[in-house]
Amino acid sequence: MKLKLLMYIFPVLIIIFTGCEQKKKQPGDNPESVFSDTFTIQKKILSDKIKGGWAGQVIGCTYGGPTEFRFCGTMIQDYTPIPWDETRIKWYFNNAPGLYDDIYMDLTFVEVFEKEGLDAPAVSHARAFAHADYMLWHANQAARYNILNGIEPPASGYWENNPHSEDIDFQIEADFAGLMSPGMVNTTSEICDKIGHIMNYGDGWYGGVYVAAMYSLAFISDNVEFIVKEGLKVIPEKSDFYKCISDIIKWYYKYPDDWKRTWFECEKKWSSDIGCPEGVFYSFNIDAKINAAYIIIGLLYGEGDYGKTIDISTRCGQDSDCNPASAAGILGTILGYSKIPEYWKQGLDKVEDIDFKYTSISLNDVYKMGYNHALQNIKRNGGTVLDDDITLKPQKPVAVKYEKGFINHYPSEILHIEESNRRLNENNTIYNFEFEGVGFVVRGRSEAIIDSNAESVFSPEIEVFIDNVLSEKASLPTDFTKRRYEICWKYNLKPGKHLVKIKFLNPGKEHQVILDNILIYSDKP
């Protein structure tokens, strides 16, 4: 009797447990129906979605502002309060406008399109941001230095010329490309190819391509899971970026009610940076793919709830203003400005007519510019614009080209420099070091000597010799906006022992070059 009972119960238990494992339903949108020949959208809805995308970036960026890079390698616990009220956005606009670097960078490219048209070449975009007054960091600043010193795109973002090529930079400023390409995801990729390679390469470039793709898809689908999964198809499957995001999606289905478990699995597998010299071997991580993972954790576990989405992306940590900005922008595009909860729009009306720092463009301006650029892009890609309705031609995502930086380069050690040797000046003009490996990065900066009467703008010059052969001559401007992000670097050396000599060419009493430390790469893990 018991045996017969088990025979009936056992299949039922299998069904129950299988059902638990598959608790989250698969995306409901059918790709074949979404990517039909045409898609019709009302003008007012298109405009509302574009407004929602831009406004969402400001909201998410502001919410995460107080936490940016204060939680590295650890999530922000639930009991940690993050303030939100009608004063927050205006306070940052007035007191810390640099918080919105991921938005005023977008606006640089939007303005170039506005002035030169949608066919504006990469060099126009590159020179616009290279000569802008705003401060930059990481891949952006490395690219700016390259451009100001004659290295044009795409070489300016290539990994051998830019140690930060896999950092988050283009990922946080690619929103415009998707917002101006409703449903036309491959057109979005073409824009990203032109502009994203100004500052990034490989996984760093893929971050921007993916984020822009999700914005584009947000115009033709309101299914978050579908947008996350379908957008990933623009990324080559053999790339680490693709593998990382695929893991997040897999863990989401495995742990549907526990975003922290997915975060933890992500940390275990994907938190080791190999590119950014500030992050390698440290908890600080500005790598594109892991921060993109935090965007996706917010979108998936947020389940379309605006506040939940922003909060989860923020509490994943690291670049915790830019990540919720991307998540809130994508979800804001799905919902449209009018459907973003009033709680999250409080205070937004106080800044919509204020120009972003370093620009002459406000939110109200970019709402209109973005809408006009989208209409132009729709027309040039076979769509039609009538009095009330717009018919566009959706595009099935196609993977962009495969590219990979830091091939056979594995961080092996950091050489610490003795305090007595860290300053290159008129009394100490040469620094030598030896290492074994295939590459190195010397971190540091140039500066005016404290209490001197020197002008703040000066360009110390150095020569770098590798194995007694001149490798490069470089300037190290003390001007923060023109600075070289690292002192010097070299990859793809022949495996073995190497001697590096750094020579200060124009020392004086009032300026010096500071050497911080040296990151070494091996050709073996």
DSSP H helix total and E strand total for the chain: 19, 12
Q: pTM here? A: 0.93
Q: Is the pLDDT of residue 386 over 80?
A: yes
Stronger pLDDT, 230 or 27, i.e. the higher one? 230
**pLDDT higher than 70, residue 249:** yes
Locate CATH 2.60.120.260 in the chain: 410-522
How would you write 19-86 as a 3-class SS string?
HHHCCCCCCCCCHHHHCCCCEEEEHHHHHHHHHHHHHHHHHHHHHHHHHCCCCCCCCCCCCCCCCCCC
Q: pLDDT for 123-154, tens place per residue?
A: 999 999 999 999 999 999 999 999 999 999 99
Strands 389-392 and 423-424: unpaired
* Among the listed residues 330, 336, 304, the one whose alpha carbon sits nearest the alpha carbon of residue 52: 336
**Where exactly does CATH 1.10.4080.10 map onto the chain?**
31-392
> What is the Cα Rg of the chain in Å?
25
The pLDDT confidence band at residue 31, using thresholds 50, 70 and 90, is: confident
Helix, strand, coil abundance in the chain, percent, nearest 5: 45, 15, 40
pLDDT value at position 7?
A: 38
Assess if CATH 3.40.50.1000 describes domain 31-392: no
Q: Residue 36: what pLDDT?
A: 81
For domain 410-522, the CATH architecture is: Sandwich (2.60)
Residues 209 and 197 sit within 8 Å (Cβ to Cβ)? no
| pLDDT of 172 over the 90 cut | yes
Rounded-to-integer distance, Cα 463 and Cα 487, Å:
11
To the nearest whole number, what is the mean pLDDT of the chain? Answer: 93
Q: Token pair of 524, please?
A: 């073996």
Region 90-101 average pLDDT? 95
